[in-house]
Amino acid sequence: MPRRAGSRKHNPAAREAHESAAPFLRAVTRDATADDARFPFSVAVIRALASLPFTSSVTFFVGENGSGKSTLLEGIATAARLPAVGSADMTADVTLGAQRELGDALRLVWTTRTHKGFFLRAEDFFGFAKRISTMRAEFLQRIADLDLEYADRSAGAKALAMMPARRSLAEMERRYGTNLDANSHGQSFLKLFESRFVPGGLYLLDEPEAPLSPQSQLALMVMIQDMIAQDAQFIIATHSPILTAFPGATIYSFDTAPAVAVAYDELEFVTLTRDFLNAPARYLRALGTGIDR
């Protein structure tokens, strides 16, 4: 079935057409010859990985810290050769050496290969914002230098010399605004998604809820819904009981090896959050806080 892009607005017809389209990335399998004694192959869920299918447009990886969900997501990102939104490219990021080795041992099974999309770790976002701010300052400095350098030349010659820097600056400001650092963390994060999401992309997000308020998490869910109506696919590692409620999503728990699909209501953090909100005083007393609500 051919893939089509539609409007960024809610489009029931596009959403209905999308529901019958298979995700771009259909499964990931692991080379059994890798050395299971070394990280990251020593992580139980990765050691036990044979084949992990992706049957829906949105897939969540959940589990305790250290369970391997982020490690596998990073390995998939390197295997897919997706660009990283961060302070360093994936091929140069010194923190991803082991994950690049994992990526070499993974086989990605595609319905249709896409080169659109990106990989994002929430912890890298602020490095990315600083990177954009530095590049903008460099473009502005280049324009100022050319203004002095061409002071005795014609206006046409000066404009021609400045054109590449002005064009790059205008494109950057069109996508990210004049100062990505000036917004709140949550606003900047959503602005990044709004500017970088394109139809037909594969998006791997590691704990995107980290800088987002509950209301902003709901806004991100709307963006994701709009994008899957335009043939995008998302694989998200998260601890968020809000994001994992996304309708029709597949949820894999990494607390067992191999990872297994679980229902939303079976997630421990969902049950714990619901129980706490229903009776916070009971939990506070049990924790010995001395707080009586």
What is the per-residue pLDDT for 163? 86
Strands 58-62 and 250-253: parallel
Q: List pLDDT tens digits, range 180-235.
A: 554 545 577 787 788 778 899 999 999 999 888 899 999 999 999 999 999 999 99
Structure tokens at 182: 């000036």
**Every domain of the chain and the residues it spans:** 12-125+202-262
Peptide bond into 258 cis (omega under 30): yes
Q: Which CATH superfamily does the domain covering 12-125+202-262 fall into?
A: P-loop containing nucleotide triphosphate hydrolases (3.40.50.300)
Radius of gyration of the chain (CA): 22
- pLDDT, position 289: 59
The reported pTM is 0.73
> Which tens digits make up the pLDDT trace of 143-174?
888 888 888 888 888 888 888 888 877 776 66
d(CA 94, CA 80): 18
* pLDDT of 17: 37
- Average pLDDT, stretch 96-117? 91
Using a pLDDT cut of 70, give the percent of the chain over it. Answer: 78
